[in-house]
């Protein structure tokens, strides 16, 4: 089997350096960042955000370096535009509404398609972290996507980083997840083969559920522009090691699942239903890693921390193949014994009740190596 590479896309917020409120300065930031990053600096749907993409790389060290390089370039460009680069799943302070849609033809069509109830919802500035693993052909990506489904809720619990949403203390650890769920097609992917995938997409397009093929927002999907499986249910985190942990675990699991597929090993997740998966994802988004989890296979309550250990063990052959096992164990242990992004945000806020201080902490941590 060819060695798998991986890459990460992260969606960042731009917050004014004085008010800490999100500001529509993406055009200026992208113009400067694009000189260095080229097409790896991308606009987002809302003009208060930018997206940074790493190239496909082979090692965890390369991935971490690439993420830090992207963040550094954007951080400099943001500072020169009078704003802060913030890695958070939602805006911490109240934003100015209506939210400014980026002036691109496709984004204008999306805004018209989904309507103001979604495009201008409170918490509509969504900061996600998307992991790509490849190279995979379409049938392989769909097969891996299907077998990954039971493991995505625990990864979502690891990545929670949006307890505050435009000044609201939502009670959830990932406010982004619940806002994102309002978009059409967001959720666990169905189990489909190549023809089934095409039928699903063509039906969604014909019924007006999707605007175009890129408007498919399953938590795991075959990428339409890269030869990868793309996993996209995680909040972006200020701590770069969270993205690295997600990536090495997903590549390790992809390796294991591909080996099982090629050896004819039956899928172990036959008991998973869409209802159970949604319940598991909702619990992951609400309580995060410290909360009570739902085992998507059995439907029983099981702590997310236990399920994270299960995932590391399940992915061990793939992690060992790429030399990532010690790193995965260390980073998983760091989270289990420490704090998720959401818990860190709450702890910063608890010091003196200042949400502006939370923004400052996130901005500093986003650029910290």
- Mean pLDDT in consecutive groups of 10 residues from the start of the chain, 369 residues: 93 99 99 98 98 98 99 99 99 98 96 94 97 97 96 98 97 98 95 96 96 96 96 98 99 98 87 86 96 82 94 98 98 96 98 97 95
pLDDT of residue 363: 99
Q: How far apart are CA 43 and CA 101, in angstroms?
A: 10
Q: How far apart are CA 132 and CA 43, in angstroms?
A: 19
Phi, then psi, of 282 in degrees rounded to 5: -65, -40
**Cis peptide, bond prior to residue 126, ω within 30 of zero:** no
Bridge-based pairing of strands 128-134 and 5-16 is antiparallel
For Cα atoms 188, 189, 191, give the angle at the middle one, nearest 5 degrees. 130
**Cis peptide, bond prior to residue 135, ω within 30 of zero:** yes
Phi, then psi, of 334 in degrees rounded to 5: -60, -40
CB 133 within 8 A of CB 228: yes
Residue whose token pair is 């529509």: 24
Phi, then psi, of 221 in degrees rounded to 5: -155, 155
Whether the model pTM is above 0.85: yes
Query: Which domains occur in the chain, in start order?
Result: 5-366 (3.30.590.20)
How far CA 141 is from CA of 32, 138, 236, 272, 337, in Å, comes to 35, 5, 23, 19, 33
Beta-carbon count within 10 A of 45 CB: 20
Please tell me what DSSP assigns to residue 167: T
Angle between the N-to-C axes of helices 240-263 and 138-148, in degrees from 0 to 180, rounded to the nearest 10: 110
CB 126 within 8 A of CB 236: no
pLDDT of residue 309: 96
pLDDT of residue 36: 98
Q: How far apart are CA 273 and CA 287, in angstroms?
A: 21
pLDDT of residue 345: 98
pLDDT of residue 299: 79
């Amino acid at each position: 089997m060819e060695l798998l590479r991986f890459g990460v896309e992260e969606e960042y917020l731009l917050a004014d350096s004085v008010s800490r409120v999100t500001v529509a300065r993406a055009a200026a930031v992208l113009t400067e960042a694009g000189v260095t990053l080229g097409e790896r600096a991308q606009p987002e749907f809302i003009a208060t955000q930018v997206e940074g993409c790493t190239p496909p790389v082979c090692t965890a060290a390369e991935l971490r370096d690439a993420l830090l390089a992207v963040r550094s370039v954007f951080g400099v460009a943001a500072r020169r535009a009078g704003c802060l680069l913030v890695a958070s799943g939602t805006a911490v302070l109240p934003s100015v509404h209506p939210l400014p849609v980026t002036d691109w033809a496709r984004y204008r069509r999306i805004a018209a398609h989904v309507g103001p109830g979604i495009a201008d919802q409170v918490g509509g500035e969504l900061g996600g972290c998307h992991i790509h693993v490849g190279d995979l052909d379409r049938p392989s990506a769909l097969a891996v996507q299907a077998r990954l489904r039971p493991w995505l809720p625990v990864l979502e619990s690891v990545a929670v980083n949006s307890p505050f949403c435009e000044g609201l203390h939502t009670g959830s650890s990932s406010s982004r997840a619940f806002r994102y769920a309002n978009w059409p097609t967001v959720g666990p992917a169905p189990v489909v083969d190549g023809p089934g995938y095409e039928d699903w997409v063509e039906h969604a397009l014909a019924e007006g559920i999707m605007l175009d093929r890129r408007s498919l927002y399953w938590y795991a999907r075959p990428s339409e522009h890269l030869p990868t499986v793309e996993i996209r249910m995680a909040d972006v985190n200020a701590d770069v090691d969270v993205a690295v942990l997600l990536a090495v675990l997903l590549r390790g699991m992809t390796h294991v699942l591909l080996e099982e597929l090629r050896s004819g090993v039956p899928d172990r997740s036959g008991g998973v239903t869409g209802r159970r998966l949604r319940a598991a994802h909702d619990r992951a988004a609400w309580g995060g890693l410290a909360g009570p989890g739902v085992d998507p296979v059995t439907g029983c309550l099981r702590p997310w921390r236990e399920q994270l250990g299960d995932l590391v063990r399940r992915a061990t052959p793939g992690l060992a193949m790429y030399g990532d096992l010690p790193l995965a164990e260390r980073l998983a242990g760091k989270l289990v014994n420490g704090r998720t992004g959401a818990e860190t945000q709450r702890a910063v806020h608890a010091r003196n009740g200042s949400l502006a201080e939370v923004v400052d902490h996130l901005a500093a941590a986003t650029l910290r190596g």
